[in-house]
Amino acid sequence: MFQGRIIDTKLRKLSIQDAEKFIASSDFGASIFFSGTVRNQNDNKSVIGITYDTHDALVIQSFEEIYNEANEKLEIKNKAVFIDHAKGYLNLGEISIIIAVATKHREEAYKLSRYIIEEIKKRSPIWKKEHYQNSESNWLKGNPLVNEKN
């Protein structure tokens, strides 16, 4: 059972309640909710907000791939996974990502939750532009999907 979405922050906020509703099932004995929020410091700079940019189709595709990989790589077949990621501007403390997982046992749930966030960081086309107290802003460097060309 899977749901992955990009949430336009101009239209609505990310909601843990949405995640709870989606993964609720008596088939599962363990559930984990991970949320990422905008923090006020990065590289010794005072951050006041972040703009998230996404390639929506590729992001959703990557979420589905990550979900499907868990069957074989982690050997977790029975599971519910909910992933929401923000697109647009967020203030300090607002939620940028929610990953909710439900599995039969806690060990699988911890493993799956960690796997999903690490893989999203590596391969989902999402970008962050930090906005600072001094009115400047900066796209964060990120990880390339290809080796550098000359």
**Footprint of another protein (CB under 8 A):** 36, 52-55, 57-59, 61, 85, 96-97, 117, 120-121, 123-129, 139-146, 148-150
Q: How many CA atoms lie within 13 A of 37 on its CB side?
A: 11
* Residue among 28 and 59 whose Cβ is closer to another protein: 59
* Residue among 45 and 55 whose Cβ is closer to another protein: 55
Residue 75 has phi, psi (to 5 degrees) of 55, 45
Closest contact distance (angstroms) between CB of 148 and another protein is 5
Closest contact distance (angstroms) between CB of 109 and another protein is 19
* Residue among 79 and 87 whose Cβ is closer to another protein: 87
* CB contact at 8 A, 21 and 3: no
For residues 103, 104, 106, 112, the Cα torsion angle rounded to the nearest 10 degrees is -30
Closest contact distance (angstroms) between CB of 54 and another protein is 7
The residue whose two tokens read 């060309």 is 149
Residue 135 has phi, psi (to 5 degrees) of 75, -5
Q: How far apart are CA 138 and CA 122, in angstroms?
A: 20
CA-based angle 62:64:65, to the nearest 5? Answer: 65
* Residue among 73 and 127 whose Cβ is closer to another protein: 127
Closest contact distance (angstroms) between CB of 77 and another protein is 25
Closest contact distance (angstroms) between CB of 37 and another protein is 11
* Residue among 134 and 150 whose Cβ is closer to another protein: 150
